[in-house]
Each structure stands twice: as C-alpha cells, then as structure tokens.
Amino acid sequence: KLLSPAARINGINEQAQPAADVAKIDEAQVPNILWGQMAGCLVARWRTEEADLEFVIPDHLIMTGSDALAAAGFTPCTDPECREVQTTGNDRPVAPVHCHVVSRYPRYEGLLVIRLYPKSGHLWWLPDFKVSPPAIDDPDLMLSNDPQLPPYIPGGCSGPWTEIYPIQILSPNSYAEAVLLLHFRDYKHANSYDNTWHFLLFPLMEYHINPELTVKRTLRPKFQAKWEEFNLPWKNLQNKFNPLLKLMKEMRDNNELPPPPPVNWYKTVEEAKKRDCWM
C-alpha cells in the first residue's frame, strides 16, 4: 500500500528518531555509522516494525561513546544477567556497550536495544571515518538524508530520511559488501552469527517477481560477478548460494578474512561439532 507523503514521514520519524538521537554522539566527537536492520531500511527494505539500533564506531572511542550516550539520556546497561551479554544462544555479537531504549523513551517498554560495536569487529575493511559528513563522491559512506538514496517504494526502501538529524550510513553497494564479508567470516562457525548476517542478506536480493523493488548494485570487482550469479532467477535455494560460497572459500584460502569471534553458541564443543560447526 502506497503511504501518503505525510504518513511516510510520520512513520519514519516515529521509527528512526531514536537512531537520530544516538547519532548525535558525533557532537561529542564520536564518529558513528548506523548498521543492521535500521540501516537496511534505507538501502534494502523498509521493515516498518521497530528494530534495534546498532552503530559502529572507532575502537578507541567505545567508552567515549558510552559516556556520550549516558549524557544524551541513554543509560548503558551494566546488568551481568542481561540477555545482551550472553554468548550461548545469542545469534549476534555481544556489544561492549549497550543501552535499552526505554531508558530515554519509556513507550518502548524495554524492547529495543542500542548497541555500540567497534569498527574492527564489523567494518575492519573500511577506511577510518570522521564526524564530518562524507564527501559527495565517497564510495563507501553517505548520509541518511542523501537524495541519491533509493526512493520510497511500497515493499522496498524507505526513501531518504529528510526530517530528522542526518545519520552516517554505508552506501547501498558497501552495505551489501559488508554483509557478505561478515557472512563469509562467520559461515558455519560455532558462534552462529551467520544467522544474523543471513537475515540482513535476504532483503538485498534482487526481486524477479516485482523488479521495481530491486536496488541494483555495482560491487567491487571481487564481488560483482558472483553477486550477479547469486541474483539470477532461482528454483533451488542451496544452488543459489553456491556462487557466494565459492567466493567465500577463495577468500578464506587466501587469508583475506579475519578470524571469527571465538564464541560458542552451543556452549560445548561436542554440541557444536554435532551441528557441523567449526571453531
């Protein structure tokens, strides 16, 4: 269903305003990039349900970022029993700093989480970034209000967020590459983070039934041919992933990927081996 311009803006403001408030930690000289499902609304598919807020910041500024969040009214969680800091049964990397959005926005009733991740764990390949807006020709970064973002289409992207504080994000191409690299790093590892990267990958696929929903991407040469093959019409899901798995194996064999985070979703080595996972 096509939303009216006013309804679309109201929906975005309601959903993305907390992300814009977090992004203002750049005023405390903490550069940050919106990551995960919320960033995917701009470059992949707009999921209108509420989503956790994940940001990537320089490693050495993690604690500065924590202090900036506290100053903005988001209280960092220090509960050692919090689900967010458990590794067993947790499909996503444990963030060194997390807050519950309810600490500033009581209406969320504790459902949403803010996570600050170090750059080395998610975007190790990305050049250092700053608090200043990226250059207009930056191949990797842009702002959430950039008119060059894919337009709003029902069932597709949200369109630029023009009514809230601009947030630094990965470009549509670099976002796809980032998801692929994380998937390649963690595929079949006992940390089970590949489940999270799978969730981010599927909205990036080209739509052959509704091609108007597709965001056409031009990736770096290393990825482009396999990406195009991956996006051919398909009948068998496993065969569809074969091109990407071949590229993953090549990159692993050439030591082009960092080691996966050494945690075990399954708790015991024996259980991980039963599930055909490596460590």
Per-residue pLDDT of the chain (279 residues; tens, 9 = 90+): 667 888 888 888 888 999 999 999 999 999 999 999 999 999 999 987 778 999 999 999 999 999 999 999 999 999 999 999 998 888 899 999 999 988 887 777 667 899 999 999 999 999 999 999 999 999 999 999 999 999 998 888 999 999 999 999 999 999 999 999 999 999 999 999 999 999 999 999 887 778 888 899 999 999 999 999 999 887 666 678 899 999 999 999 999 999 999 988 887 877 877 777 867
For the entire predicted model, the pTM comes to 0.94
Assigned token pair, 214? 């597709």
What CA–CA distance (Å, rounded) separates 120 from 174?
16
Closest CA relative to residue 22, chosen from 61, 56, 58: 56
Four-point Cα dihedral 203, 207, 212, 214, nearest 10: 50
Close Cβ partners of 168 (under 8 Å, ≥ 6 residues apart): 23, 26, 31, 32, 33, 34, 129, 133, 134, 141, 142, 143, 144
Assigned token pair, 277? 């996972």
What CA–CA distance (Å, rounded) separates 82 from 31?
27
The string of DSSP letters for 113-150 reads EEEEEEHHHH-TTSPP--SSPPPTT-SSEEETT-TTSP
